Structure formats: structure tokens, C-alpha cells
Amino acid sequence: MKKLLLACGIAASAVQYASAADVRPQGDPASGEAQAAVCAACHAQDGNSMVPSFPKLAGLGERYLYEQLVAIRDGERVIAQMAGQVDNKTDQELADLAAYYDGFERSGGQTDPKLADLGEKVYRAGVAERGVAACTACHGPQGHGNDPAGFPALAGQHAEYLEGQLKAYATGYEQPGEGRYTDGESKIMRSNAFGLSDLELKAVASYIAGLQ
């Protein structure tokens, strides 16, 4: 019963977030391609970064990627490596970049066999006694996300990057204004990440990396 109520609560929050007005411009992938040359140094031209600490942007979700780019440009999400990269871009240019990268297929990753069972448990069932919801509620059974709602596709993402973001969310919960502390879906992520142990964070990140 606790798991059912928890899942319902998260689903309701997800629906509330998804209902927020989506007022982004229509993205043009061709225009995005012209801008992506600068991004390729960290994220690769096709969005499949080879560096474990840099996220794969390919197939991430057009709405989600656009909203994150806007948050970075406007100073709501601070990423040291992104300083100055999108400061002067218009909403249309950011929408074009999002459309470009979302058009690529995400490359696969691998799950550490030693962490697979724990990671799957957290991803599919959460940790009810600590108020942690199953990741499937927003990101789907196979990690493909929900683009219209703005929930990113996670499958195949670098485990190192995912673990780092989960720890940043946990920091944001404990120390408001620190770590990762933007609004929208991040409110859900902050409380979920805070409820997980370091081993659970590592395990679920590893499990997600191996999803297809």
C-alpha cells in the first residue's frame, strides 16, 4: 500500500509539472547543426559524448534539453564547464540546438554486474520506507523518458555523470541554493536523491547506463 501511495503521489506531481505551459519555439535541427560545432568538443557532434563526466545529449528529449539550456543561459542552473557557452543565445537558437541533438540515437552503456540487482530494485521499486519513488514513474520502464512532459530519456547515459547529478540533487535538498537546485522536476529529484545512500545512488546510475 505504501508503494502504491508513493507511486500515485509522484505520478500526480509529474502530471502537474507536465501541465505547465510549453511555450518554447519550434526547433530547426538544421540551424542547430550549425551551432553544434562548438558543443562537439565536450558532447561530440552527434551528442554521444565519450567523456564519462559530460552528458550524452543525443535523444535526451527536445523539451527537456531546451529547458535546461534556458536555465543554464539564465543562470538558474550553474555548470562551470558551460560558463559563457550559451549566454548570448536566443530562445530560438536554444530550441534549434535541442531539436538537433534530440534527433540522434543515444549510444548504449553498461551496468556493473555487482550493482545490477540493487540498481534495478531502486529504479523499479524505489525505497518506500524512505519516501523514494521508483524512477519508472517519470522516466519509464526502459528509461526512455517522456518528452512531451519534459522528463528526459536516461537509458545509456554515462553512469559517472548520472551519479554526479544525483549527488548534486541531494546536496540541493540539504542545502538550498547549492548543488542542483532548479525548479520543475528537480523538486522531485532532490527529495528522491536525498533519500538514497551513496551505494544506492551509484547502483541506480550504473543500472540506468545499461538500459536500452
* pLDDT, one tens digit for every residue, the chain (212 residues): 444 444 444 544 444 444 456 788 999 999 999 999 999 999 999 999 999 999 999 999 999 999 999 999 999 999 999 999 999 999 999 999 999 999 999 999 999 999 999 999 999 999 999 999 999 999 999 999 999 999 999 999 999 999 999 999 999 999 888 899 876 567 899 999 999 999 999 999 999 999 99
Q: Which domains does the chain have, with CATH numbers?
A: 2-18+108-209 (1.10.760.10), 29-102 (1.10.760.10)
Residues in Cβ contact with 45 at an 8 Å cutoff, skipping those fewer than 6 apart:
36, 37
Assign 169 to helix, strand or coil.
helix
Q: Are 11 and 143 in contact (CB under 8 A)?
A: no
Residue 105 C-alpha cell reads as 540515437
Element (H, E) at 140: none
Give the helix/strand (H/E) hosting 116.
helix 116-125
